[in-house]
Amino acid sequence: MDVLGEGLLEALRLLLTGDEQTWEITGLTLRVSLTATAIAVLLGVPVAAALALGRFRGRQVLLAVANTGMGLPPVVVGLFVTVLLWRDGPLGALGLLYTPTAMVVAQAAIAVPIVVALTAAALRQVDPDFLLQMRALGATRVRALGALLAEARLPLLAAAMAGFGAVVSEVGAAQMVGGNLAGETRVLTTAAVLATSRGQFALAIAFGLVLLVIAFAVNLAVTLAQHRTTAPR
Amino acid sequence: MSRLLAFLAVLVSVVSCGGTDQAAGPSAERSLILATTTSTQDSGLLDELLPAFTEDTGWKVKPLAVGSGQAIELGRRGEADVLLVHSPEAELDFVAEGTAGERRLVMHNDFVIVGPPEDPAGVRDLPSARAMRAIATAKAGFVSRGDESGTHAREERLWEQNQIDPKGQWYRSTGQGMGATLQVASETAAYTLTDRATYLAQRANLRLEVLSEGDKALLNIYHVIELTERAGDRVQPDGAKAFADWIVGPRAQRMIGDFGTEEGGQPLFVPDAGKDEANLGN
């Protein structure tokens, strides 16, 4: 049990003394996972809108694919991206393997199905007559869609946060495409795994606690921002 | 909604600045990929050696700490420039394929058989072959890496040499690194084969003692293997040679010999550059 107490103390020490390495790792974790989430939202929301509102064949199958994709094991995504980015792989000439950019790509791939599935579910909750009413009131398609997204903003936010939560906490893909290189691609989860395999359990728990703190801080910041945008209505 | 998106965008760009130069790619500087074993990373040796290598040669290193099996496979595919591994039989097979360049002796330490202090199979102070046989006969618990690492390869060879086919309830395979495997052995009061460096680094957290050590079958020998362009177009033979030359050179060899002694501990590795492999452990 004392290892948990030590971990808590170590986490406080790392956060309060401004340990350079911890800040670097934490900064990279945020940078990679937030960028991946933003990309997933940008790609996923239009896809989700098409799946939720469109009337085309295969829509249900694609929705099922997105729902299945929510359970995609990060390590499988990581392996797939790694093989693509190998020096002699199809995208090897880009030289992206073992860089933060590769981690963003892998994590975005993990987050997209989550964003698509949850956003599509949210949009389908909105009254189907809503779009018709908007159109009848003279709104263009784009404006009507904008109004619809605004109407469903809370579940959309939940979708984005679910995507962020999934990628910031995953270790399989980050380890494989990033290589856990010190000062380059080491994030909080891979640092925790390394500390564990070195037998530095308190340090590993400290990294885990730092991860919780930053995930909480991001969620809180977004929720507060959301609250401010809703309040005047 | 749009304000929310704007907020997210600001958040991302704030976090992104200051790091984009790093993501721009390694092409600006010379950087090579070293595929090596978890033991060199978990013991902390790489953290000492690599900055000194970069300082001496200007080459940056991306170390991938994986099992020896995976490291050799990455070399075979030309996805690494140089290997630092400890799985001699697999290495010789690999070198015989002809895509590798020079293979040179770097250092050694040793494997030890560890187990619960009560030692239910009575292997204390037995030579390794008899110890393994005693564990199998008593069907006392044994935890295997099971991950094609150098340690796993050595364990399999020890079973083979004793004509034992380890199967049954008493034999478990974790498929994980040395640290995790030691933890499992400790928690289940079982025996395992470990490299001494990882065991010493983790000893404080383990209820395991060294029970069998010191015979020649337990030598853990590390070689550096350069890859050539025969393994893949993008292999950097100049980087591979720079690393291999450096690690068998005087500065690296001195650092290897001193490693682990600063904190009053015992040396974890013995530098062996230029020695005859047949004479190790005598």
What tens digit of pLDDT does each residue of B131-141 get? 999 999 999 99
- Predicted-complex ipTM score: 0.73
Q: What is the pLDDT of residue A56?
A: 86
Tokens matching residue A63: 């929705």
DSSP-assigned states of every residue in A35-85:
HHHHHHHHHHHHHHHHHHH---TTHHHHHHHHHHHTT--HHHHHHHHHHHH
What tens digit of pLDDT does each residue of B104-135 get? 999 999 999 999 999 999 999 999 999 999 99
Tokens matching residue A48: 């989700």
pLDDT over threshold 80, residue B203: yes
Q: What is the pLDDT of residue B15?
A: 52
Q: What is the pLDDT of residue B2?
A: 55
Residue B177 CA to chain centroid, in angstroms? 9
Q: What is the mean predicted confidence (pLDDT) over B140-168?
A: 92
Q: What is the mean predicted confidence (pLDDT) over B252-277?
A: 88
Query: How many residue pairs bridge chain A and chain B with CB atoms within 8 Å of each other?
Result: 101
Contacts of B244 (CB under 8 A, 6+ apart): B82, B102, B104, B224, B225, B226
Q: In the structure, what pLDDT confidence band is assigned to residue B154 with cuts at 50, 70 and 90?
A: very high
* Whole-number percent of chain B with pLDDT over 70: 89
Substitution target from B79, B174, B178 for chain A, most A beta carbons within 10 A: B79
pLDDT over threshold 60, residue B4: no
pLDDT over threshold 50, residue A233: no
Contacts of B109 (CB under 8 A, 6+ apart): B195, B196, B197, B220, B268, B269, B270
Q: Inter-chain contact A160–B8, Cβ cutoff 8 Å? A: yes
Q: In the structure, what pLDDT confidence band is assigned to residue B264 with cuts at 50, 70 and 90?
A: low
Q: Inter-chain contact A27–B18, Cβ cutoff 8 Å? A: yes
pLDDT over threshold 60, residue B14: no
Instruction: Measure the CA–CA gap between A69 and B280, rounded to whole angstroms.
Output: 53
Substitution target from A21, A30, A87, A228 for chain B, most B beta carbons within 10 A: A87
Q: What is the pLDDT of residue A231?
A: 56
Indicate the residue of A34, A86, A196 with minimum beta-carbon distance to B179: A196
pLDDT over threshold 70, residue B1: no
**Among all residues of chain B, which has the CA nearest to that of A149?**
B1
What tens digit of pLDDT does each residue of A89-134 get? 899 888 899 999 999 999 999 999 999 999 999 998 887 788 788 8
Q: Inter-chain contact A149–B1, Cβ cutoff 8 Å? A: yes
Q: What is the mean predicted confidence (pLDDT) over B148-171?
A: 91
Residues in chain A closer than 8 A to B201 (CB atoms):
198-199
Q: What is the mean predicted confidence (pLDDT) over A170-198?
A: 91
Mean pLDDT of chain A: 89
Residues in chain A closer than 8 A to B78 (CB atoms):
87-88
CB of A110 within 8 Å of a chain B CB? The answer is no
Q: Inter-chain contact B15–A146, Cβ cutoff 8 Å? A: no
Distance from CA of A129 to the nearest CA of B (A): 21
Q: What is the pLDDT of residue B20?
A: 40
pLDDT over threshold 60, residue A213: yes
Distance from CA of B13 to the nearest CA of A (A): 9
Q: What is the pLDDT of residue A42?
A: 95
Q: What is the pLDDT of residue A28?
A: 96
How many Cβ atoms sit within 10 Å of the Cβ of residue B255?
17
* Whole-number percent of chain B with pLDDT over 90: 65
* Whole-number percent of chain A with pLDDT over 90: 52
Q: In the structure, what pLDDT confidence band is assigned to residue A135 with cuts at 50, 70 and 90?
A: confident
A162, A87 contact by CB (below 8 A): no
Q: Which residue has the higher pLDDT, A190 or B4?
A: A190
B240, B83 contact by CB (below 8 A): no
A contact residues 151-170, partner B, Cβ 8 Å cutoff: 153, 156-157, 160
**Among all residues of chain B, which has the CA nearest to that of A226?**
B4
Fold of A23-188: MetI-like fold (1.10.3720)
What tens digit of pLDDT does each residue of B24-56 get? 344 447 899 999 998 888 888 999 999 999 999
Q: Inter-chain contact B232–A88, Cβ cutoff 8 Å? A: yes
Residues in chain B closer than 8 A to A146 (CB atoms):
1
Mean pLDDT of chain B: 88
Q: Where are the domains of chain A?
A: 23-188
